[in-house]
Amino acid sequence: MTNYIAVIHKDLDSDYGVSFPALPGCVTAGSTIQEAQKMALEALALHLDSDPKTLSITFLMETGISNGVMEAYQRSHESFHSLYRKLAE
């Protein structure tokens, strides 16, 4: 079973968003955390063209980091995505 890392984030005026740092473009959302997690598995399976039963997700909750800070971190650390790819293996 392959494990992937997903980040759950929420702004005050939005649903719970989910993104996969190692898979740019693989994103989804849900009105509750549970719905967002369910949608994340569906999005991941579609993105990878895989059976959802063969996938596992570790969810991380983004807290206390503004999007601007996270974006700056990602730009300044080229190994950010490769680290998440290694952790997801």
Q: What is the pLDDT of residues 9-47, one digit of tens each?
A: 988 888 999 999 999 999 999 999 999 999 999 999 999
Q: Which residues contact 84 (CB under 8 A, 6 or more apart)?
A: 5, 21, 22
Q: What is the mean pLDDT of residues 72-87?
A: 54
Residue 2 has pLDDT above 90, yes or no: no
Mean pLDDT of the chain: 82
Residue 83 has pLDDT above 50, yes or no: yes
DSSP output for 1-26: -EEEEEEEEE-TTS-EEEE-TTSTT-
**Hey, which bits of 1-89 come out as E strands?**
2-10, 16-19, 27-30, 55-61
Reported confidence tier of residue 82, pLDDT bands at 50, 70, 90? low
Q: Tell me the domains of the chain and their CATH numbers.
A: 2-88 (3.30.160)
Residue 74 has pLDDT above 80, yes or no: no
Q: Which residues contact 8 (CB under 8 A, 6 or more apart)?
A: 16, 17, 18, 33, 36, 37, 59, 60, 61, 62
Do 14 and 22 meet the contact criterion of CB atoms below 8 Å apart?
A: no
